[in-house]
């Protein structure tokens, strides 16, 4: 029996299934018998302790998990939530029931907002369960313990669970819900865990059953035959060998160089990226400096943070993305006005132009850091839609002392006019996550339309080809910095379409490096033609896999 879903990465795992326990039952809606003040105190203590516990788990986990868990901890510590709980207790509810109903009310509000906020409703459910478990004096729902390695099957995983998975025990993750942008998928990528998400029907797999989880194919096979077991074991051994192989610069089989760069969200990940063989940074996200701030950080504070990253990559390329706020990252001092569809609103370069001093300060700080370090510093603007926007950003960056200024191609309009866009700036970097979202009209933060969110879709690949061809004609670099670059098969196709460098999570570098080394530039171009000729993302993926195995 096979179950199809969205694979995260390209790994393969083989092992017995353990299932996540079912959530706690809904607290009974029965009259309160205890004193109201006592119940309020119990609820306040449970909320506070839950918030502290989640924060501690975040500090232990680090990375993207820390950010996710900090957001959850803030939910439990929200004063308005406590006020709601207290009001319900005053109305006669028990602490358990009051917490359940208060969180449910917040959940309904998020679902009503839609988009990214609706996706966060699952996080509220998890926090609610943890608070109620603390009130009831029972263990919080979570990952089961096992003395031996296992494949974890769940409806979906809460961030608090995913963050601290024992990677010596969890061979792979399989979820029936969620999509490629869910927290499970995000953290699986960061930790390089084999995962298949959104595998409908996977909850029917019996505990103890042996499964093969093939992330590249997005397939979970139950009770595999001997041939499938042998194939999986070979793939696992080969991947282990690749991970242990000496690090070399990214290149195709014919020697064509394809620099492999790292996507970083803060200076903290620089050392790990270097250790894994990153040849530079293709996307340094600067949002971490701004997201928790009441006002924009000073030039001095920014310069210090940028210098930490640049120092780790002396002599190598570091591409810094200007602040990309808006949509799922609103900032009070920049663009906190409610928008019906923020993904199409005042975000990226648009919001920076509306508050130009913030942009000027950021570019000034980066130029000062660049002058004090040996890295090849480049800067790029997010969400560029027009030639005029590209020229505005490049001119401003040059004026403030940055020699190399480019743009992110995330909007179909910019891809279709790529030659004119590249004529007024120094390079382009394709953000495949947003380019896919805008091409397919499918919010990438919304799991209900996750089936549309594949960068393998020929429509997306045609836009990449437009940019690649424009870069070749003008002799200007075209990088890829979206999640697509971390898919080894798709990485080959992207190079065939004209990408001159690939940037990804450091965990993906070894797999991509090995796949590129197996094909020549001519073969990559042929594979890109195969993908473009397909009618769907699924057909493109399958056709390229078939062509490579011939």
400's CB contacts (< 8 A; 6+ apart) are: 360, 363, 364, 367
Cα distances from 85 to residues 128, 166, 408, 531, in angstroms, run 12, 35, 45, 54
Question: Phi then psi for 510, rounded to 5 degrees?
Answer: -65, -45
List strand residue ranges (DSSP E) for 228-330, in order: 260-264, 280-285, 317-321
Of 183, 425, 457, 541, the catalytic one is 183
Question: How many CB atoms lie under 10 A from the CB of residue 47?
Answer: 25
Residues 425/406, Cβ–Cβ less than 8 Å: yes
> What phi and psi values does residue 407 have, to the nearest 5 degrees?
-135, 155
Angle at 508 between CA 506 and CA 514, to 5 degrees: 120
User: Using CA atoms, how far apart are residues 182 and 120, in angstroms rounded to an integer?
Assistant: 9
Q: Considering only CA atoms, which of 101, 73, 93, 121 is closest in space to residue 33?
A: 93
48 to 24, 79, 159, 252, 362: CA distances (angstroms): 20, 11, 18, 54, 37
Whether the Cβ atoms of residue 414 and residue 464 lie closer than 8 Å to each other = no
> Are 389 and 329 contacting, i.e. CB atoms less than 8 angstroms apart?
no
Among candidate residues 53, 136, 338, 481, the one labeled active-site is 481
Start-to-end CA span in the chain (Å): 26
Separation between Cα atoms, residue 267 and residue 313, nearest integer Å: 11
Paired strand residues for 406 = 380
Are the CB atoms for 463 and 439 separated by under 8 Å? yes
Q: Distance (Å, rounded) from C-alpha 233 to C-alpha 12?
A: 8
For the question of residue 481 being annotated catalytic, the response is yes
Catalytically active residues, by annotation: 183, 481
């Amino acid at each position: 029996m096979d179950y199809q879903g969205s694979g995260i990465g390209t790994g393969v795992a083989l092992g017995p299934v353990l299932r996540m326990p079912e959530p706690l039952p809904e607290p009974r809606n029965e009259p309160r018998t205890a004193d109201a003040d006592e119940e309020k105190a119990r609820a306040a203590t449970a909320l506070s302790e839950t918030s502290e516990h989640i924060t501690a788990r975040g500090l232990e986990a680090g990375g993207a998990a820390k950010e996710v868990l900090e957001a959850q901890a803030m939910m439990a510590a929200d004063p308005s939530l406590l006020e709601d709980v207290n009001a319900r207790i005053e109305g006669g509810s028990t602490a358990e029931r009051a917490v359940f109903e208060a969180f449910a009310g917040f959940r309904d509000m998020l679902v009503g907002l839609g988009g990214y906020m609706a996706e966060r409703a699952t996080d509220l459910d998890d926090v609610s369960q943890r608070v109620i478990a603390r009130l009831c004096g029972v263990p919080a729902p979570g990952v089961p313990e096992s003395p031996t390695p296992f494949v974890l099957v769940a409806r979906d995983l809460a961030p608090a669970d995913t963050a601290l998975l024992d990677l010596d025990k969890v061979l792979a993750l399989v979820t029936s819900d969620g999509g490629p942008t869910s927290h499970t998928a995000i953290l699986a990528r960061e930790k390089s865990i084999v995962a298949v998400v959104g595998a409908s029907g996977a909850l029917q797999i019996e505990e103890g059953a042996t499964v093969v989880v093939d992330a590249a194919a997005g397939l979970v096979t139950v009770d595999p035959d001997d041939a499938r077991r042998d194939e999986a074991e070979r793939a696992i051994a080969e991947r282990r060998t690749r991970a242990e192989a000496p690090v070399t610069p990214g290149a195709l089989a014919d020697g064509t160089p394809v620099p492999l760069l790292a996507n970083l969200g803060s200076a903290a990940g620089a050392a790990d990226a270097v250790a894994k063989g990153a040849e530079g940074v293709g996307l340094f996200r600067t949002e971490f400096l701004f997201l928790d701030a009441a006002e924009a950080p000073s030039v001095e504070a920014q310069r210090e943070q940028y210098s930490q990253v640049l120092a780790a990559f002396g002599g190598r390329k570091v591409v810094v993305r200007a602040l990309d706020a808006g949509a799922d990252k609103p900032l009070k001092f920049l663009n906190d006005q409610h928008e019906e569809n923020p993904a199409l609103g005042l975000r990226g370069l648009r919001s920076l132009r509306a508050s130009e001093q913030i942009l000027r300060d950021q570019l000034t700080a980066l130029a000062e850091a660049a002058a004090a370090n040996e890295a090849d510093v480049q800067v790029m603007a997010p969400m560029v839609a027009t030639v005029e926007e590209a020229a505005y950003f490049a001119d401003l960056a040059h004026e403030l002392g940055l020699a190399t200024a480019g743009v992110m191609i995330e909007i179909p309009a910019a891809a279709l006019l790529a030659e004119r866009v590249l004529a007024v700036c120094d390079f382009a970097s394709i953000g495949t996550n947003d380019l896919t979202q805008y091409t397919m009209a499918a919010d990438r933060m919304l799991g209900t339309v996750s089936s549309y969110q594949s960068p393998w879709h020929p429509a997306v690949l045609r836009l990449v080809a437009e940019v690649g061809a424009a870069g070749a004609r003008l002799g200007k670099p075209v990088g890829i910095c979206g999640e697509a670059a971390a898919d080894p098969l798709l990485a080959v196709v992207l190079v065939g379409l004209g990408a001159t460098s690939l940037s990804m999570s450091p965990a993906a570098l070894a797999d991509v490096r090995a796949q590129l080394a197996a094909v020549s530039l001519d073969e990559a171009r042929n594979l890109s033609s195969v993908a473009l000729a397909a009618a769907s993302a699924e057909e493109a993926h399958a056709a390229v896999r078939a062509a490579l195995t011939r």
